[in-house]
Amino acid sequence: MDSAIANPQADHDAAEHEHEHVFVPQHRHHFATEEQQREAGSFGMWLFLLTEIMFFGGLFFAYLLYRNWYYDAFVAASNQLSIPLGASNTAILITSGFFMALAVWAAEVRKKALLVVFLIFTTLFGLAFLGIKYVEYHEKWEKHHIPGASFDASEFINPSAYGLKENPLPPDVAQKTQMFFFLYFAMTGMHALHMIIGIGLLVWLLARAQRGDFTQGYVAPIENFGLYWHFVDIVWLYLFPLLYLINRHPLAH
Amino acid sequence: MAHEVEQEQHFHDPSNVTNPEHASHHIVSPAQYALVFAALLTGTALTVVAANIDLGVLNPIIALGIACTKAIIVILFFMHVKYQSHLIKTTVAAGFFMFLVLITMTLSDYISRAWGLW
Amino acid sequence: MSAPSPTILKLPDQSSATMPKRNFINAEHGLLSWLLTGDHKRIAILYLISITVFFFIGGAFAGLIRLELLTPQGDLVSSDTYNKLFTMHGIIMVFLFLVPSVPATIGNFLIPMMIGARDLAFPKINLLSWYLYIAAGTIMIASMALGGVDTGWTFTTPLSTHYLNTHVVTTAVAVFIAGFSSIFTGLNFIVTIHRMRCPGMTWFRMPLFVWAHYAASILMVLGTPVLAITLVLVGLERIFGIGVFDPTKGGDPLLFQHLFWFYSHPAVYIMILPGMAVISEVVSTFARKRVFGYTAVAFSSVAIALFGFFVWEHHMFIMGVSNYSALVFSLLTMLVAVPSAIKIFNWCFTLQQGSITFETPMLYAFGFMGLFTIGGLTGVFLGSLGMDIQLTETYFIVAHFHFVMVGGMLMAFLAGVHFWWPKMTGRMYPESLSKLAAVVTFIGFNLTFMPQFILGYLGMPRRYHAYPPEFQVLNVLSTAGATVLGVGYLLPVLYLAWSLKYGAIAGDNPWQATGLEWQTQSPPLTENFPEIPIMDHEAYDYEWLEHKTQHEVTHVG
């Protein structure tokens, strides 16, 4: 192949306007250019998200299997989840994601005050999501719908006694609602754990953003955290219809 | 150490191995984000409304379809993938492909079991 | 052209040779400079030491297993203890030795050098990867000290979730953490290979070592998380009794196996691909010839990775899966053998008309090619449904995977350690002693595991500590072999340690190999190269090397 130093000047000029060879203080010496470092960071974060897709994938398959095996039980159990709470949570998380995207923009256009504000809103909406999740979990605790030794399926065997407009299920089918609740807690719990980690990271990013670390041209942490946050959002976008909206019209049959 | 590094990257790399596509540094505007935001909220509302209408086997299909659409616009716009290099796009696709392999190949057993509850 | 010499080894004049004044080992001093390093080479050394320790712990368990199997009665240990022995042997060998062996030691050390980079893309993540490995190992030892686990390394449900009272959750946590160590290594490699090649280093000029590690890294990143979630589910089931794998609560135990083997089959390719990576380099160097069919070998690595994801159900043929899916997976299993075979053919054709010399790495490589072929072929037998029903859960399976993993992978690891030892340490190991060790290992290996094929064929089940008396002769042979094998593995530890102080000074390129790592000092500088190299020739270009060495002044030290 021709020598790599054949015509450096022409190529150099051509590319010059695209990446100024400006080194931010956070430049790592094993990278040749800022662009390379940024690309590598982004790529690395996407690979990590791929591992998350596969991680949640196992749970999604378990859900697919047991929903098909125990459809009636899943429907009955799903109808006990609150749509207003679930839908609000979905809207809240979407809004949180919106603010995160705006935060990335603010970092890119170097507006520190806006960046901090957007990060704060991202965090607040994230916390609101977790708050509502806590309310929902608490309700399940009260109704003995947490899988394990204290699980009680009587609400599904005899719904009218609890004032519910549902079809009663035979006892052995009703026991399968435990499987639904296990998947509910496992999937939303795993999701919530990722959100808690995310909020922890947000607090750290906020502190650094306030110091001005991300509005001098070095936006990679904000960008890459944004990728993580949006991914967690996407997981919820699937969890909501799959867990809350299985069959909201059972009595129509 | 710093001066060594600066000297090196003055020769440019014509076969451009380090950054083959010079992924352009496009900044997505707040207006675009707002549009996506609106679309996501609309999708959510649609999903809830559709769930309350009995459409038989179409219900889960519509629900998943809307969820997939939302995921796609988040990925393309909030996560900037529309403006990223081919490498990133391929990576994202590979991830979802692998997820589908897990689901479908495992399903191949459960669907074809004679004794199954499917 | 002069008569071929019996060795290609070219060392600098020992009377005046010194180690390079400045290298990555003496660049900084003190324990903390090692424990907090970002230098991929130092991390590789840290891994090498830790992996060796865990190898011998796993090996000790193997010794106890073979000792028990000397006699047909279960007289050395109780059956529960025996179960713990083979479980811990399997878990340590798979997760703490085989999976990280070549990638985390040789891969970490060499990949940046082979592509002309100064380090991996994420040095801190590399260090984190090692700490996760150490954490996993510590928790594993703790689990052993607390009483161990006896589920088999496969944690099969509902045994592991319901019927055992041993430390399943602790071990599962250890394996979970080890999995993330592996994921971060793979992630680092993928980003590095894509984005940090030096100018002129196109994909098809990279050493095949890098290609194989790239394929293995994809498997690490995409497969390991499924293991992680599976272990989480096992833990949740044990702790909360939720029933996801419990038939009495509507769960399916087979779901566990699907999810477990979805990772664990690609895992075997994670383990073997780096070994194949080493063999490509060694065979080329010691035959003084470029690897035959570079493109085929490169793509076969990727093909192994891809097909490897589609065959996992062949571990479950007798477990109650549907006949139709078993047929599909059996067919796919036949296909996955093809890329591996392509590699063997290409290495053989590399040897043809090459100038072959028989230094220690080459001896190990020959061992690999023979033993891996046998192991791989027996894998094809096992992929065939009818045969598998007869042979599964017998010693045939045990022999099969030990042939590919020990006869294959471990030999490749030793080949790699010997081949790059001069590069990593600047010292040569003692050649005659190492040749002896290689031969001893080969003999010991065959004596240990060949009888096990026959045992399995005759019907001796695996994971049993007592067996019918008619199997004793073969078992005694196997145990005898294991003793020889143990000697064969102990020798390298001793002479390699000896060589650190007393070995001959190696110089830049004792094997006269191509490859960027051989064009710089041994041990390398912390920054790998004084200037970033420019790759202007193809891989395995011995003419380029010839031209270069004729025109260069040999410098010493």
pLDDT single digits (tens) C310-360: 999 999 999 989 999 999 999 999 999 999 999 999 999 999 999 999 999
CA nearest to C531 within chain B: B8
pLDDT given at position A252: 46
Distance CA A88, CA A128 (A): 10
Cα gap C99→B67, rounded to integer Å: 37
Whole-number percent of chain C with pLDDT over 90: 89
> What is the CATH classification number for the domain harbouring A206?
1.20.120.80
Q: Are A136 and A181 in contact (CB under 8 A)?
A: no
Set of chain C residues whose Cβ sits within 8 Å of the Cβ of B15: 199-200, 202
Is B61 near chain A, with CB under 8 Å? no
| Residue B31 contacts C, CB cutoff 8 Å | no
pLDDT at residue B4 in the model:
39
* B52:A248 CB<8 A: yes
Identify which of B87, B98, B108 has the shortest CB distance to residue C328: B108
Residue B116 touches partner C, C-beta closer than 8 Å: yes
Residue with token string 């043929």: C317
Inter-chain touch B95–A230, beta carbons under 8 Å: no
Chain C residues within an 8 Å CB radius of B116: 322
- Answer whether 0.90 is exceeded by the pTM: yes
Q: Which tens digit of pLDDT belongs to each residue from C234-280?
A: 999 998 888 899 998 889 999 999 999 999 999 999 999 999 999 99
Rounded distance between C-alpha atoms, residue B62 and residue B49, angstroms: 11
Q: Which residues of B touch C258 (CB under 8 A)?
A: 106, 109
Encode pLDDT of B97-118 as tens digits.
999 999 999 999 998 886 655 5
Return the pLDDT at C243. Answer: 86
- Report residue C35 CA to chain centroid gap: 24
Q: Is position A80 within any domain?
A: no
* Chain A partners within 8 Å of B40 (Cβ): 94, 97-98, 237
Min distance C21 CA to chain A CA atoms (Å) = 22
Report the residue of A23, A74, A230 to disrupt the B interface, i.e. the one with the largest count of B CBs within 10 Å: A230
Beta-carbon contacts of A128 under 8 Å, excluding residues fewer than 6 positions away, are: A92
Look at residue B3 in the predicted model and tell me its pLDDT.
Answer: 39
Q: C320 is written with which tokens? A: 């109650």
- Residue contact B14–A6, C-beta within 8 A: yes
Note the pLDDT of residue C72.
95
State the residue range of the domain holding A229. 85-154+180-248
ipTM above 0.90, yes or no: yes
- What pairs with residue C528 in β-bridges? C525
Question: Model confidence at B55, in pLDDT bands (50, 70, 90)?
Answer: confident
Contacts of A47 in chain C (CB under 8 A): 187, 190-191, 221
The closest CB to that of C226, out of A3, A30, A58, belongs to A58
Answer whether A43 sits within 8 Å of B91, measured CB to CB.
yes
CA angle A181, A185, A190 (to 5 degrees): 155
Q: Which residues of B touch A238 (CB under 8 A)?
A: 64, 67, 71
Decide if C255 and A1 are in contact by the 8 Å CB cutoff.
Answer: no
- Chains in contact with B, where contact means 3 or more Cβ–Cβ distances below 8 Å, are A, C
Length of chain C (residues):
557
From residue A56, alpha-carbon distances to A234, B103, C373, C414 in Å are 11, 12, 37, 37
For residues C198-222, average pLDDT: 96
- Residue C475 has a pLDDT of 96
Please, which chains are in contact with A (at least 3 CB pairs closer than 8 A)?
Answer: B, C
Q: What residue segments make up the domains of chain B, in order of their start?
A: 28-104
Other C-beta atoms lying within 10 Å of the C-beta of residue C162: 15
**Is the minimum CB–CB distance between B101 and chain C shorter than 8 Å?**
yes
Beta bridge mates, C394: C461
CA distance, residue C210 to nearest chain B CA (Å): 16
Residues of chain A found within 8 Å of residue C225, distances taken between Cβ atoms: 51-55, 57-58
Which residues are paired to C427 by β-bridges? Answer: C505
CB contacts under 8 A, B 29-48 vs A, are 29-30, 33-34, 36-37, 40-41, 44, 47-48
DSSP state of C57: H
CA within 13 Å, CB half, B12: 20
How far away is chain C from the Cα of B113, in angstroms, using its nearest Cα? Answer: 5
**In a mutagenesis test of the A interface, which of B15, B32, B44, B82 is the best target, namely the one with the most A β-carbons within 10 Å?**
B44
Q: How far apart, in whole angstroms, are the C-alpha atoms of residue C526 and residue A18?
A: 31
Q: Measured between CB atoms, does A141 come within 8 Å of chain C?
A: no
Q: Could you report the per-residue pLDDT of C117-136, keeping only the tens digit for each? A: 999 999 999 999 999 999 99
- A111 in any annotated domain: yes
Pairwise CB contact (< 8 Å): B109 & C313: yes
Contact C423, C517 (CB under 8 A): yes
Tell me how far CA of residue A186 lies from CA of A180, B6, C269, C294, in angstroms: 10, 51, 30, 47
Q: Can you tell me the mean pLDDT for C47-71?
A: 96
**Contact list, C195 vs chain A (CB under 8 Å):** 36, 39-40, 43
Give the burial class of C424: count Cβ atoms within 10 A of its Cβ; 0-12 exposed, 13-18 middle, 19 or more buried. Answer: buried
Asked if pLDDT for residue C536 goes beyond 70, the answer is: yes
Question: Are the CB atoms for C211 and C298 separated by under 8 Å?
Answer: yes
Phi then psi dihedrals of residue A153, to 5 deg: -100, 15
DSSP state, residue B26: -
Within 8 A of A248 by CB-CB distance, chain B residues are 51-52
In whole angstroms, give the CA distance from residue C414 to residue C411: 5
At C466-511, the pLDDT tens digits run: 999 999 999 999 999 999 999 999 999 999 999 999 999 999 999 9
**Would you call A64 exposed, middle or buried from its count of C-beta atoms within 10 A (0-12, 13-18, 19+)?**
middle
> Considering only alpha carbons, which residue of chain C is nearest residue A2?
C536
A168 domain residue, yes or no: no
Q: What pLDDT does residue A12 have?
A: 43
Candidate from C197, C222, C325 with C-beta closest to B109: C325
The list of chain A residues with pLDDT below 70 reads 1-23, 250-253
**B57 at A interface, C-beta within 8 A:** no
Taking an 8 Å cut-off on Cβ atoms, the answer to whether B98 and C324 are in contact is no
Go through the domains of chain C in sequence order and give each one's CATH number: 31-551 (1.20.210.10)
Total of domains in chain A? 1
Q: C405 to chain B, minimum CA–CA distance in Å?
A: 26
Contact C244 A32 (CB under 8 A): no
- Check if A176 contacts C (Cβ < 8 Å): yes
Q: How much is the pLDDT for B13?
A: 53
Q: What is the pLDDT of residue C230?
A: 96
Write down the pLDDT at residue A3.
38
Inter-chain touch B98–C198, beta carbons under 8 Å: no
Q: Taking the alpha carbons of C132, C135, C140, C143 in that order, is the dihedral positive or negative? A: negative
The pLDDT of residue C34 is above 50: yes
Kindly list the residues from chain B whose CB atom is less than 8 angstroms away from the CB atom of residue C196: 18
Give the integer Cα–Cα distance in Å for C396 and C382: 9
Check A234 against B75: CB less than 8 A apart. Answer: yes
Q: Per the CB < 8 Å rule, is B15 touching C328?
A: no
CB contact under 8 A, C200 and B87: no
Among A68, A105, A227, the residue with its CB nearest the CB of B30 is A105
pLDDT for position A61: 96
B80 Cα to chain C: minimum distance (Å): 19
